[in-house]
Amino acid sequence: DTGVSQDPRHKITKRGQNVTFRCDPISEHNRLYWYRQTLGQGPEFLTYFQNEAQLEKSRLLSDRFSAERPKGSFSTLEIQRTEQGDSAMYLCASSLGSDSNQPQHFGDGTRLSIL
């Protein structure tokens, strides 16, 4: 169990640029989540994958955001035309199977700063 890995850890970019983050879940975990955390707040749910299928998206996920999990393993989260309000920590989590007793395991996040 190597844990959930996220890359990069930090991203600084200018407003209007596109950014892409990567998440590698724990290898046997078929459920993958993206959350966003702003300063002083708890994480907020963005989207959920079961294997390669994106099954749920939050209203927070505007059309500038897109997420993929092409082979049911790693996932990417892309933000197009970044805005100041996108500055946040983006957290990825994974969990195992259909048993809802299984907890979500979180990565260390990607901190995005928009100049």
Partner 1 sequence: AQSVTQLGSHVSVSEGALVLLRCNYSSSVPPYLFWYVQYPNQGLQLLLKYTTGATLVKGINGFEAEFKKSETSFHLTKPSAHMSDAAEYFCAVRGSGSARQLTFGSGTQLTVLP
Binding site for partner 1 (CB under 8 A): 4, 6, 31, 33, 35, 40-45, 48, 55-56, 91, 93, 95, 100-101, 103-109, 111
Nearer to partner 1, 27 or 101 (CB): 101
CA distance linking residue 17 with residue 110, whole number of Å? 16
Find the shortest distance in angstroms from Cβ 18 to partner 1: 24
Place of tokens 């890995």: 5
Find the shortest distance in angstroms from Cβ 75 to partner 1: 14
Q: Of 30, 34, 29, whose CA–CA distance to 6 is shortest? A: 34
**β-strand pairing of 65-68 with 88-95:** unpaired
